Structure 1
Amino acid sequence: MLSPFEWMIAKRYLWPGKGEAFIALVAGISVGVVMLSVAMLVIVMSVMNGFRAELLDKIVGLNGHAIVQAYGGRLENWEGILEKVENTPGVTAASPLIEQPLLISFGGRVEAIFLRGETDEDVANLADKVVIGDIAALGGGSERVAIGTRLAQNLGIRVGDTITIINPQGRSTPFGTSIRQVPYEVAAIFEVGIYDYDEKFVVLPIKDAQTLLLMGDSIGMIEVTVEDPDKVGDILRPVSEELAGQAVVADWKTINSALFEALQVERVAMFFALSFMVLVAAFNILSSLVMLVRAKTRDIAIMRTMGATRRSLLKIFVTTGTTVGAIGTMAGLALGSVVLFFREPIVGFIAAVTGQEIWDPEVRFLSTLPSRTDPWEILGIVMLALVMSFLATLYPAFKAANTDPVQVLRYE
């Protein structure tokens, strides 16, 4: 704790006098650099966290946390396997699913798609993602489908139009294999928010998918949702062991391992690189305090002769430098919060000024710039900035505390 005398001197040194404008400028630059470094760390780490969380939420929301898939792509007698999975501790939901790459034709154009046959409950869960149309119109035997927004834009498809889904694996005839071409009415257009999904996915009831693909009563896989996504491997290990040789269990970490590992590496690398900005800010604080000590050498000597202890001088300069770091840190948190709140308009403004697509959904997977702030991570950034600011004060503070008043005042 500072005494009233120490606090009074520290406050005076925080605002250098009129004849010390250069020292004030350096101190102001120090605050600015700390502010910018903290703001950059907050912004980048929040965006990286948001990107990972949003990507995970959207992928898991459509595919579940894991899938149970038979060797050969067709799961026979799946009802018993589904019951085993549902009764596994930690599993919250499990449902049959068909996913098959096919082709669609509309207006003389052909596009590759991923056909998804889902249960009525899973189809109904897309209701909050529907942009136009009625997802409830999809029902077994209705011959209606829902498609992604990007696919609709690419082919110029609107609700009510009829598309043709092409299945190369048709029925065998005396004249060869007959390719199946089945017309379906587009009942709804949805937007998941992941570019690849919105561009490729066509959803229809699982019964219609079985009929189209000539699968009988078999399915392609079972999608599983668990209580804790990070422990999905441990939760489904008993199922994987029991179905060994019959089916394979793949969780979201395995299916999207390359993507999420790349995100993790990039996140760590960005934090490490941007941490050097905090180090630069600390050096600015150090340089401003060194200049302040040199400018106040005579004052320090006088205070020593009046009874100020080395400990008091040490506390004064440590408080001065740490306060500069704290002000910069708080300002950085405020700046980072403002930028994150207005991130979409800022991205749009930069794109309009530069004429470049800053956030290309084809590259970034997501259609909007996400953000998710981790309180513990923010606390870590604040602690890093404050600790670096504190360490930067030690050298000039010890220099001031070790000032010899006899040497300084000898010729006064």
Structure 2
Amino acid sequence: MILNTFEWTIAKRYMLPGRGEAFIALVAGISLAAVMLGVAALVIVMSVMNGFRAELLDKIVGLNGHAIIQAYGGRLDDWQDILKQVRATPGVTRASPLIEQPLLATFNGRVEAILVRGNTAEDIKRLEEKRVAGSFAALTPGSSNVAIGSRLAENLGARVGDTVTVVNPAGRSTPFGTVPRQIAYTVSAIFEIGVYDYDQAYVVMPIPDAQTLLLTGDTIGMIEVTTTNADTVNQTLAPLKQQLAGRAVVTDWMTINGSLFKALAVERVTMFVVLSIIVLVAVFNILSSLIMLVRAKTRDIAILRTMGATRRSLLKIFMTIGFVIGALGTMVGLGLGFVFLYFRQSVVHAVEWITGQNLWDPSIRFLTELPSRSDPVEIVVISVMALVLSFLATLYPAMKAASTDPVQVLRYE
């Protein structure tokens, strides 16, 4: 829809407020602001939802891998052979032995439930980027050094260099019964994964130390597996599941965290539909402002018709006016949305300071900060949706203007 000079001149004249048209200009401004806020709300909410899912997936998968292989009974006796099988499977990029066991930790009279993780030296080195204090270099087999999560350190009141005691209730049997096994470990490093549940529970140590603590000998608890694509892990490990049938269970991240990610997916779709209604309401504002403009300019339209303006020209003029309002609102809304996302954490802190409420409690939200990740495809869909709805809103007023009969209008002038 290309406008000639005459049509564009008339469209610009009607888009700018004139004498006695302040109310129409106000309604048009409200329409623009409504489209802007609707688009910004969609961009902000969808980006935060995408960021929440992506960050949660990255942190969970980054620590636990895409899948876990665990033997019946919790102990893999022939884990070296299974590890070779896993590493030889096409699509598997990394496989590491792992020991994970819930126990208790005490320090200065404080007791906390913990999750002891026995990792290889390579996996411990991968945690280096999550370190907030101390050093992982001291985590060597037999050193009695451990690394603990930042939240756990806060709960225990422990710092780097302190000695915490890990209690294993399944200790050695004695004539007086089973005596819990208690071993003291020096905190050599504190790390922060960014997932509250992990940071308040994990105690990381070398695999040999974990085997000594748990009295498991040379066995391990599980093997964590990372594949080339987290979304296709089920297909990648399908042959391995058949090979290990009856010996071990292969569980992927989708199964372990299925309910959480399904809930996020449903919430994401619901929020998109609900917030789209805001854009729809804004489009009705464009419709009403154009109807008012057409009624106010009925005499002008009749004069234009008598001067030779065609119905097609009038149709294009009023469609352009409404579409420009929608397009400007969409562009400003996109800008506002991206600015809000850039300063999102500052906005959260400001609202918390004003209201005195904790809006982002990591114990509830899993993550320690408000995440954001914009999907270009979704941004395009939001923009196109706003533009299409704005265009559709112009059809009725434009056709009404184009169908104006100059004879009937000017007869009574």
Distance, in Å, in 2 between the alignment partners of 1:248 and 1:173 is 34
Tell me the residue number matched to 1:398.
399
Residue 381 of structure 1 aligns to which amino acid in structure 2?
I
Give the letter for the 2:22 counterpart. Answer: A
**How does 1:339-378 map onto structure 2 within 5 Å?**
339-378=340-379
Residue 115 of structure 2 aligns with which residue?
A: 114
Number of the residue aligned with 1:68: 69
Structure 1 counterpart SS, 2:346: helix
Render the CA deviation track for 1:142-185: whole Å, top value 9, x for unaligned.
11000011111111101000011001111122222121001100
Task: Give the match's secondary structure for 1:111.
Answer: strand
Whole-Å separation in 2 of the counterparts to 1:396 and 1:21: 19
* Structure 1 match to 2:322: 321
Q: Which residue in 2 is equivalent to 1:17?
A: 18
Aligned to 1:306: 307
Q: Residue 259 of structure 2 corresponds to which residue in structure 1? A: 258
Partner secondary structure for residue 411 of structure 1: coil
Give CA deviations for 1:39-86 in whole Å, capped at 9, x if unaligned: 000000000000000000000111001111111111110111111111
Q: Aligned partners of 1:15 and 1:324: how far apart in 2? A: 12
C-alpha separation in 1, matches of 2:398 and 2:105: 73
1:161 aligns with 2:162: yes
Where 2:226 maps in the other structure, the secondary structure is strand
Report matched runs for 1:4-403 at 5 Å. 4-403=5-404
Deviation, structure 1 residue 220: 0.6
Q: Secondary structure at the match of 2:104?
A: strand
Q: Quote the Cα distance in structure 2 between the aligned partners of 1:300 and 1:369.
A: 53
Secondary structure of 2:184's counterpart equals strand
1:216-244 CA-partner distances (Å, limit 9, x unpaired):
11111100001110000000000011111
How far apart are the structure 2 equivalents of 1:206 and 1:314? 76
- What is the aligned-residue RMSD (CA, Å)? 0.7
Q: Deviations over 1:175-233 (max 9, x none)?
A: 22121001100000000000010001100001100111011111111000011100000
Q: What is the rounded CA distance, in whole Å, between the counterparts of 1:18 and 1:49 in structure 2?
A: 47
2:323 partner SS = helix
Shift of 1:310: 1.1
State the 1:18 CA deviation: 2.1
Structure 1's consecutive aligned runs of 4 or more residues displaced over 4 angstroms after TM superposition are none
- State the shift of 1:16 in Å: 2.7
Q: 3-state SS of the aligned residue for 1:320?
A: helix
In the alignment, structure 2 segments of 5+ residues that lack a partner are none
Distance 1:55 1:379 in 2: 25
> For the residues of structure 2 that align with 1:191 and 1:296, how far apart are their CA atoms?
65
Give a deviation string over 1:345-392, Cα, whole Å, max 9, x none: 110010001000011101100000110011111000000100110011
Question: C-alpha separation between the residues in 2 aligned to 1:16 and 1:349?
Answer: 37
Which residue identity does 2:153 align to in structure 1?
A
Kindly provide the amino acid, as one letter, of the partner of residue 341 in structure 1: Y
Q: Match of 1:136, SS? A: coil
Given residue 283 of structure 2, which amino acid in structure 1 is its aligned partner? A
SS at match of 1:18: coil
Task: Tell me the distance in 2 between the aligned counterparts of 1:111 and 1:16.
Answer: 68
Question: Quick one: distance in 2 between partners of 1:379 and 1:189?
Answer: 42
**Partners of 1:284 and 1:56 in 2: CA distance:** 40
Provide TM-score, normalisation by structure 1.
0.99
Task: For 1:80 and 1:211, locate their aligned partners in 2 and report how far apart those are by CA, in whole Å.
Answer: 22
Higher alpha-carbon deviation: 175-184 or 91-100: 175-184
The one-letter code of the counterpart of 2:217 is: G
**Helix, strand or coil for the counterpart of 1:72?**
coil
Structure 1 unpaired stretches of 5+: none
Q: Distance in 2 between matches of 1:202 and 1:118?
A: 10
Q: Which amino acid aligns with 1:46?
A: S
Q: For the residues of structure 1 that align with 2:289 and 2:303, how far apart are their CA atoms? A: 21
Q: How far apart, CA to CA, are the structure 1 residues paired with 2:156 and 2:333? A: 46
Counterpart of 1:3 in structure 2 is: 4
SS at 1:19's partner residue?
Answer: coil
C-alpha separation between the residues in 2 aligned to 1:155 and 1:110? 7
Give SS of 1:312's match.
helix
Amino acid corresponding to residue 397 of structure 1 in structure 2: A
The one-letter amino acid of 1:184's match is: Y
- Distance apart, 1:405 and its partner CA: 0.9
